[in-house]
């Protein structure tokens, strides 16, 4: 089967931007809102971690790496 390479950079970039915004407003809100922000931050971190696990770093002599260094194959591992 053919290997398919594409980039998930826009998705991971959006996750990082959302984390950055939440961390910036966290000290300015009430304690109850901080708990909600902490939960949202945890969910964003987990989603980013899952993306990294689903799309591992490209190893030497494999397919040409896309801009973010992630890849999918049509075969499950």
Angle at 16 between CA 14 and CA 22, to 5 degrees: 100
- In the chain, what are the domain boundaries? 26-55
Confidence of residue 66 (pLDDT cuts 50, 70, 90): low
The tokens for 49 are 């971690």
**pTM score, two decimals?**
0.62
For residue 44, what pLDDT is reported?
A: 92
Q: At what angle do helices 31-54 and 9-25 cross, to 10 degrees?
A: 160
Per residue in 22-61, pLDDT tens? 999 999 999 999 999 999 999 999 998 888 777 766 555 5
Q: How far apart are CA 29 and CA 50, in angstroms?
A: 29
* Length of the chain, in residues: 77
3 φ, ψ (degrees, to nearest 5): -90, 140
For residue 71, what pLDDT is reported?
A: 56
Partners of 72 in beta bridges? 4
């Amino acid at each position: 089967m053919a290997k398919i390479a594409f980039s998930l950079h826009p998705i991971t970039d959006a996750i990082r931007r959302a984390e950055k915004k939440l961390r910036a407003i966290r000290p300015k809100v009430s304690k109850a809102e901080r708990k909600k922000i902490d939960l949202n931050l945890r969910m964003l971190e987990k989603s980013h971690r899952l993306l990294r696990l689903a799309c591992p770093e490209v190893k030497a002599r494999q397919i040409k790496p896309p801009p973010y260094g992630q890849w999918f194959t049509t075969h499950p591992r």
